[in-house]
Chain A
């Protein structure tokens, strides 16, 4: 079909959808991000009360104690909607694929000292279960949260966690030449070994929190804010000196992922705290409560990763980094 060049009238009638025009202005074009996220969640005139929570509406801002005049005050600094999200991850997975391929092809794990491999088996692989739990929490935020700019990021975040759990599984299969020994041992350790129990216990306590924003703080701010720096910024790089540099490549995704994630969680905390002193107080109360709980919970893991003597110092440092970062967003603990 050819273009009708005889067309007389092709000047657009309008620049925007009404729902984006109300936010960006009538004659200012909206970006694809804005079209894809602003105000697309239902807000009113629901037909039936949810059987799973009859005292609330299907979409209900009162599922958190956080109060926002406008739940779309927060927007993602990365401007992720579905397509930009999968495009970014597709690039990262390509890199990861070639990392895995190279290591497999060149047999790069062969030169790694057994002690390092043992460290990986014990410290890193069980984290696949932690990622799975983090996914559950983020699916929960996507389900019960309010406002698409927030809930869609929880959806992406949860998806990333399963992706990372699968990367960790691939590392385990690589270590064992496709036998499942490490996977099984990691699960047993996760369920029974004392080192993981405080963490697993804390995770289960986050699962049953009523307030989805508290889950956001406990999981995506505090727990990630301790675990990721400890494991991917400290533990893995430290293995390089012991001949485990390959694992930097095998966890490249996780490291980059965290750096990227902090951008939106910072922004979310900043916008939410700036809304009202009540929000700021709530956020700092949740933060201090979960920091207190989780710094204890990650300590045994830090001991396993860094040794008895260095562990407390490592945890104290990442905690300070986290609190300093949150202070910049207006959350004082």
Chain B
């Protein structure tokens, strides 16, 4: 009678001793990326595999999940279920997602493949390889989910081309390029811990709950389907951090530095998400500030209490991020509104109902600082002088967001925050202490940044005039600008049998449907 094996033991035996121990080539050559960051691994066998998922079980579960997901996608398309959305303005969230997030999933797929090659311990190696494959899944299922929307709405028709070129997409792209150009341990600290463990809910909740609140069942299904993968990824992130800290005390300051850096980098990327969450969703599950309080202040606070015994502290400048939560989405949305003519999605001024919601959610700041601004812009638009910025913004050398953040933590929220550093006799501008620190720590890296505005001025983006640049981005005239009067709006109305009517009738029909 064969002896019984529990799951843990069985998994251990199936992968037992697979890690490659080179003798014909040097270990340094075979695993050439493993040591140059200064991380010390004394014993890979101490790696506690967090999933214990065998390959055949993975095939089975994932195939079952995908079968269900694609069934929903197919029925969504067949029934033209996009007609059931709360409002077509919601689709702009999907435009941001396919342009800004999906290409990052792809980058993660390739990045984790590198770790799967470069880590010499088989436990971490196999975990990374599984994540690499998951990330490909997310890329491809997102493409397939949004494919139907692309057929009925503008702005989503060339996401990968755009991601490599467009000014606002250099924010997410440079963040991932940053991680991917770093060594493998920094990459995984950035992606698995700083992003997936610390901040993933701040991405997931706005998009997936946003989808649920606004009648987008295809995206909701994708979200739930991805969630079980994500929970594996989060576990990997935490396991990795604990492993590095337990392996050698010299690793602690290195890891802390990476957490500080990539927390701030990821947080700046999420600035775009905050604007989407507070302004793009016709029906909002919660405000950015509420999400930040729950998912960062409370959850990350508790996490770092746990991690304190390893010698880790909260990421540097987290207080600034918390202070900014009162302002972030409004500042970003206002800037995007200024540049609506150069985007492949629509922006608009919040209507009365939305502004009341924002006042309620942001009692300390919205009425004081931001409502007057929107009211003035609304007045200007009414007078035929729609406010738009004809110039090009100065970008932060690190996060690449236009210089729009203010001195919130210095109690001066109307003063734009500027920092600068000198390197090799040149001046480099950053948006915050967080970004300046990052620049000063690795100036030789950040001088290479492909800053879209600089590139435009250097003539590398299709020409000197705005239409040439937009053409180079593959933007079409109907892709950007205000939502009101857009091709998307006209079409949405036609979809619902309306030929005329003000924006309010849309809201009503959305409410009727939500009630139904």
Q: Place the interface of chain B in its size category.
A: 35 or more
Using CB atoms, name the residue of chain B closest to A2: B516
Q: Provide the bound-state CA to CA distance between A201 and B5, in Å.
A: 34
Q: Provide the bound-state CA to CA distance between A49 and B181, in Å.
A: 6
Chain A residues with Cβ below 8 Å from B423 are none
Chain B residues with Cβ below 8 Å from A49 are 181, 448
Across the interface, do B161 and A42 meet the contact criterion of CB distance under 8 Å? no
Among B20, B56, B109, B163, point to the contact of A155 (Cβ < 8 A).
B109
Q: Provide the bound-state CA to CA distance between A58 and B114, in Å.
A: 12
Chain A residues with Cβ below 8 Å from B174 are 47-48
| Of B16, B64, B122, B159, most A-chain CB atoms within 10 Å | B16
Q: Provide the bound-state CA to CA distance between A39 and B183, in Å.
A: 26
Chain A residues with Cβ below 8 Å from B25 are 204-205, 207-208
Chain A nearest CB from B18 CB (Å) reads 4
Chain A nearest CB from B188 CB (Å) reads 14
Q: Provide the bound-state CA to CA distance between A162 and B54, in Å.
A: 9
Q: Which of B26-34, B272-280, B349-357, B372-380 forms contacts with chain A?
A: B26-34
| Of A86, A135, A178, A204, most B-chain CB atoms within 10 Å | A86
Q: Which of A11-19, A218-226, A256-264, A323-331 forms contacts with chain B?
A: A11-19
1/0 contact trace for A76-108 toward B, CB 8 Å? 000001110011011011101100000010000
Known contacts A10-B83, A169-B15, A162 near B55 by CB under 8 Å: yes
Across the interface, do A207 and B22 meet the contact criterion of CB distance under 8 Å? yes
Across the interface, do B164 and A42 meet the contact criterion of CB distance under 8 Å? yes
| Of B22, B24, B110, most A-chain CB atoms within 10 Å | B110
Is residue A275 contacting chain B, with contact meaning CB distance below 8 A? no
Across the interface, do B117 and A14 meet the contact criterion of CB distance under 8 Å? no
Q: Provide the bound-state CA to CA distance between A10 and B82, in Å.
A: 10
Across the interface, do B83 and A7 meet the contact criterion of CB distance under 8 Å? yes
Is residue A270 contacting chain B, with contact meaning CB distance below 8 A? no
Is residue A319 contacting chain B, with contact meaning CB distance below 8 A? no
Q: Provide the bound-state CA to CA distance between A4 and B80, in Å.
A: 9
Chain B residues with Cβ below 8 Å from A180 are 13, 16
Across the interface, do B129 and A158 meet the contact criterion of CB distance under 8 Å? yes
Known contacts A86-B59, A173-B13, A155 near B113 by CB under 8 Å: yes
Is residue A70 contacting chain B, with contact meaning CB distance below 8 A? no
Q: Which of A136-144, A239-247, A283-291, A309-317 forms contacts with chain B?
A: A136-144
Q: Which of B99-153 contact A (CB under 8 A)?
A: 103, 106-107, 109-110, 113-114, 116-117, 122, 126, 129-130, 132-133, 136-137, 139-141, 143-144, 147, 150-153
Q: Provide the bound-state CA to CA distance between A160 and B55, in Å.
A: 8
Among A8, A136, A201, point to the contact of B20 (Cβ < 8 A).
A136
Among B3, B36, B137, B173, point to the contact of A177 (Cβ < 8 A).
B3
Across the interface, do B144 and A143 meet the contact criterion of CB distance under 8 Å? no
Across the interface, do A166 and B178 meet the contact criterion of CB distance under 8 Å? no
Q: Provide the bound-state CA to CA distance between A36 and B105, in Å.
A: 13
Is residue B17 contacting chain A, with contact meaning CB distance below 8 A? yes
Chain A residues with Cβ below 8 Å from B163 are 42
Chain A residues with Cβ below 8 Å from B182 are 51
Q: Place the interface of chain A in its size category.
A: 35 or more
Chain A residues with Cβ below 8 Å from B18 are 128-129, 132, 165
Across the interface, do A3 and B1 meet the contact criterion of CB distance under 8 Å? no
Across the interface, do A208 and B153 meet the contact criterion of CB distance under 8 Å? no
Known contacts A40-B160, A97-B56, A143-B110, A50 near B14 by CB under 8 Å: no
Known contacts A50-B180, A170-B14, A142 near B110 by CB under 8 Å: yes
Is residue A69 contacting chain B, with contact meaning CB distance below 8 A? no
Is residue B497 contacting chain A, with contact meaning CB distance below 8 A? yes
Chain B residues with Cβ below 8 Å from A73 are none
Known contacts A47-B173, A142-B132, A208-B25, A4 near B140 by CB under 8 Å: no
Across the interface, do B20 and A139 meet the contact criterion of CB distance under 8 Å? no
Across the interface, do A87 and B63 meet the contact criterion of CB distance under 8 Å? yes
Is residue B158 contacting chain A, with contact meaning CB distance below 8 A? yes
Q: Provide the bound-state CA to CA distance between A135 and B487, in Å.
A: 49
Chain B residues with Cβ below 8 Å from A300 are none
Across the interface, do A90 and B177 meet the contact criterion of CB distance under 8 Å? no
Across the interface, do A93 and B56 meet the contact criterion of CB distance under 8 Å? yes
Chain A residues with Cβ below 8 Å from B23 are 191, 200, 204
Chain A residues with Cβ below 8 Å from B385 are none
Across the interface, do A155 and B3 meet the contact criterion of CB distance under 8 Å? no
Chain B residues with Cβ below 8 Å from A160 are 55
Chain B nearest CB from A211 CB (Å) reads 15
1/0 contact trace for B26-65 toward A, CB 8 Å? 0001101100100000000000000000111011101110
Is residue A45 contacting chain B, with contact meaning CB distance below 8 A? yes
Among B5, B107, B140, point to the contact of A178 (Cβ < 8 A).
B5
Among B83, B122, B513, point to the contact of A132 (Cβ < 8 A).
B122
Chain B nearest CB from A128 CB (Å) reads 7
Across the interface, do B55 and A48 meet the contact criterion of CB distance under 8 Å? no
Known contacts A6-B497, A42-B163, A47-B174, A81 near B152 by CB under 8 Å: no
Is residue B243 contacting chain A, with contact meaning CB distance below 8 A? no
Chain B residues with Cβ below 8 Å from A51 are 36, 181-183, 445
Q: Provide the bound-state CA to CA distance between A52 and B117, in Å.
A: 13
1/0 contact trace for A18-47 toward B, CB 8 Å? 110000000000001001100111111111
Q: Provide the bound-state CA to CA distance between A151 and B117, in Å.
A: 14
Across the interface, do B129 and A162 meet the contact criterion of CB distance under 8 Å? yes
Known contacts A82-B133, A86-B66, A36 near B496 by CB under 8 Å: no
Among B3, B136, B165, point to the contact of A45 (Cβ < 8 A).
B165
Is residue B21 contacting chain A, with contact meaning CB distance below 8 A? yes
Is residue B404 contacting chain A, with contact meaning CB distance below 8 A? no
Is residue A74 contacting chain B, with contact meaning CB distance below 8 A? no
Chain B nearest CB from A59 CB (Å) reads 8
Is residue B300 contacting chain A, with contact meaning CB distance below 8 A? no
Is residue A193 contacting chain B, with contact meaning CB distance below 8 A? no
Among A2, A18, A82, A163, point to the contact of B141 (Cβ < 8 A).
A82
Chain A nearest CB from B109 CB (Å) reads 7
Chain A residues with Cβ below 8 Å from B164 are 42-45
Can you give 22 A-B contacts (C-beta < 8 A)?
A7-B80, A17-B158, A39-B160, A41-B160, A42-B107, A42-B173, A48-B445, A51-B182, A51-B445, A82-B66, A83-B66, A90-B62, A93-B56, A132-B19, A151-B113, A166-B56, A169-B14, A179-B3, A183-B17, A200-B23, A204-B23, A205-B24
Chain B residues within CB distance 8 Å of chain A: 1-5, 13-25, 29-30, 32-33, 36, 54-56, 58-60, 62-64, 66-67, 70, 79-81, 83-84, 103, 106-107, 109-110, 113-114, 116-117, 122, 126, 129-130, 132-133, 136-137, 139-141, 143-144, 147, 150-154, 156-161, 163-165, 170, 173-174, 177-178, 180-183, 215, 217, 445-446, 448-450, 455, 474, 491, 494-497, 513, 516
Chain A residues within CB distance 8 Å of chain B: 1-4, 6-10, 12-19, 32, 35-36, 39-52, 58-59, 81-83, 86-87, 89-90, 92-94, 96-97, 104, 128-129, 132-133, 135-136, 139-140, 142-144, 148, 151-152, 154-156, 158-160, 162-163, 165-167, 169-170, 173, 177-180, 183-184, 187, 191, 200-201, 204-205, 207-208
A-B CB proximity, top 4 nearest: A90-B63, A18-B158, A163-B55, A9-B494
Known A18-B157, A82-B136, A142-B110; further 18 A-B contacts with Cβ < 8 A? A3-B84, A7-B80, A7-B83, A17-B147, A19-B161, A40-B143, A46-B177, A52-B183, A83-B63, A86-B58, A86-B59, A86-B62, A135-B116, A142-B117, A152-B136, A158-B129, A165-B15, A178-B13
